[in-house]
Amino acid sequence: MNILLAGGSGKIMDAMIDKLNKGGHRVYLLTGQKERKNSYKRVFERYDFPYDDDNMMHIVESAKPDTILFMGAYDTNFDWSRGRQESVRYTTALINLLSVCSVMENGRFLYLSSQEVYGGSYGNPVSEEEPVSPDNYKAMAIAQGEEICKNYRKMQGIHTVSLRLDHIYSIPQRGHEDDNPCFKMCLEALKKGSISANENHVLSMIYLNDAIEQIYKVIIEKEVKEQCYNISSMEEINEMQLARKIKDEMGAGVSIIDNTAGECRRLILDKSRYEKELGQKIFVHYDEGIKKVVQFMKKNKDSFISAEDAGGSLAGRLWHSTKVIMGTMVPFIENLICFFLFFLLNNQTAGSRYFERLDFYLLYVLLFATIHGQQQAIFSGLLAVVGYCFRQMYDGSGFDVLLDYNTYVWMAQLFIVGMVVGYLRDRLYQVRDEKDEELRYVNEKLEGIEDINDSNVRMKHSFESQLVNQKDSLGKIYEITSGLEKYEPEEVLFYAAQVLGTLMDSKDVAIYRVANEGYARLFSATSPQARKLGNSIRYTAMEGLYGDLKEHRVFINKTMEAGLPLMACAVYGEEDMQLILMLWGIPWQRMTLAEANRLTIVGTLIQNASVRASRYLESLKSQRYVENTNVLCKDAFAMLVKAFFQARDKGLTECTLLEIMEKDGMDYGRMVSDLGKKIRETDYMGTLEDGKLYILLSNTNKENARGVIERFQNSGYESLPKEEIV
């Protein structure tokens, strides 16, 4: 199946893509935004367009999805902190998607709703028939979306299904907030070390994987009876019970604050309708699901807690600030400790002939310049100068030390070496960071390239499959059109419409037979859309169409004029136009020269089959007609009626068989002559086994046949419609 997912990135979208790919379905993605922010490796085709884009119709026509799944309440493209504005955007997006869904044939539109549409308290599980009671802008928009889907199903005939999901919870994405009670309590425990719970609040939750499994069942089900289904575990739990389970998994250091107050608020969706029709099994229950969430958030708590709210309480924030300050001060403390060590070493080795050329202060400065960089090199240099001057004052006054030029030479040497080494160290780390940043950038590009490559590989395999089984090759076209030879001569043009639709990949095909100069009669059609021009057309009045057909060219409706087919070509017998082949339901991107050439080839092969059938019937004319009349003999007429009835049952044409009520003493020759003047060139007269005269009205249903019956009656001939032949 081809599935078009509409919605922003998120864990629900990722899980849905993964499930559909495992099921072997082809996934198309409409992101709902222009920016290409996230990559999806397992999407066949991705469309980065907002929901109100003018190309929406072309996207659906290109993807040809069997099902469109709109994320609805879980679409991350909408920022519900601005409820009033977003509710308008949300409703508009849904209406646009439903509008383009009307081009799908036998497709479905799935809309994800949530328990948020109910804002009250309910003593019993809430069924799908319970009236909604939204209490905020988001809930109102979601509820309105359900009603819109229901109206489109009723008024437009679109097969829409709304799925209400009951408190989805799952392992969250790192650094992303989630909107479910389990996540909120876990986050509160990490921030504050406590969990606030109200025992009067009762709910049920369903794990993400279970919800995805049940959505998938609706997608693959051939037919679902109802318009709305609840998806819920119906496992009742109150906030206090949930808090205790989270506390048990969090371990020591987490307390529960009992905020039980107010009236009982209970909301649990009833899953009975879904369970009865599709069957349901919950795989992940609360103990297992909550354990997974808590363990993940504990392991990755730094991604959920920011610096300013770490710990939550005043003491916690102070402790965090202390850790930040200590982290900054550690290099300075290390520096001071090492300075005292090197100061003692320098004093102990002073005057020693083994260490007289070894400068411990220089080594000290080089050590910190190498490890911590230029800043610590300057600080260690200042400390080294203080230590050096203090040691020199053992043998003289401070004034003598300041006047000694060797002191300044040593200081210059110390700072130059320390600062240069510190600068080189800082520069080296800067280059490394730049390299890491560039590497991250390249990896992001690589992910994009991998995404594009995956898409190209899928398209390559798809095109390879098309090449192996393609309908464009002359051999394949001839193989299909040659299948017309298996039909009786009377049936060829009926099934030529089906063959044409198969080869041109169109469900809306019509074949008109040119009746007389300027007019053509509909002979066969594959859909109501293909019959919209009517049973009889004056093709010479269709300027653009007639001009191309007259010049033996394929007509392409580039201006998308409503009263004309999208493509058409004429079949000629010698120099006379005999048939007009018309096509609708072709995407505009396929209205190309290549398609025109294919239609020309198909039309020529259909012409060959038609000409062979016509010549065969012409050669048997003397055997087919009653002598000196245009009345078909019983065998030929029975075969013709049977062909028309079979084509009618398959929706390829319309026809009505009239039995002429003969009266005693009626002149048979005169009756045939009179009735022959009252019918069209495309109608047929003949006899059957009972010897009675019948008239077959082509492309005429029972309602239209009433006019013909009245016309016969005015001429003195009674007739009755027949449903079957004897």
N- to C-terminal Cα distance for the chain?
45
- 309 falls in which pLDDT band (50, 70, 90)? low
Residue 701 has pLDDT above 50, yes or no: yes
Instruction: Summarize the confidence of residues 337-347 as an average pLDDT.
Output: 83
Residue 111 pLDDT: 94
Residue 319 pLDDT exceeds 50: yes
Collapsing DSSP to helix, strand or coil, 527 comes out as coil
Output phi, psi for 257, to 5 deg.
Answer: -100, 120
CA distance 345 to 342: 5
Contacts of 536 (CB under 8 A, 6+ apart): 515, 519, 520, 521, 522
* 712 three-class SS: helix
To the nearest whole number, what is the mean pLDDT of the chain?
Answer: 81
Pairing of strands 201-204, 159-165: unpaired
| CB neighbour burial string for 44-64, b if at least 16 within 10 angstroms, e if fewer | bbbbebbbebeebbbbbbebb
pTM higher than 0.95, yes or no? no
CB 83 within 8 A of CB 136: yes
What pLDDT is stored for residue 501 in this prediction?
A: 81
pLDDT at 171 over 60: yes
Per-residue pLDDT at 462 exceeds 70: no
Determine contact, residues 4/16, Cβ cutoff 8 Å: no
Residue type, 516: N
* Of residues 298, 203, 210, 209, the one with CA closest to residue 247: 298
- Residue that has been written with the tokens 């398609």 in this structure: 595
Kindly report which listed range (2-6, 239-243, 546-550) carries the lowest average pLDDT score: 546-550
3-state secondary structure of 229: strand
Contact assessment for residue 1 and residue 220, using Cβ atoms and an 8 Å cutoff: yes
Q: Is the pLDDT of residue 658 over 90?
A: no
Residue 486 has pLDDT above 70, yes or no: no
SS3 522: strand
Question: Between these two residues, 464 and 142, which has the higher pLDDT value?
Answer: 142
Domains of the chain: 1-165 (3.40.50.720), 315-437 (no CATH), 474-619 (3.30.450.40), 622-722 (3.30.70.270)
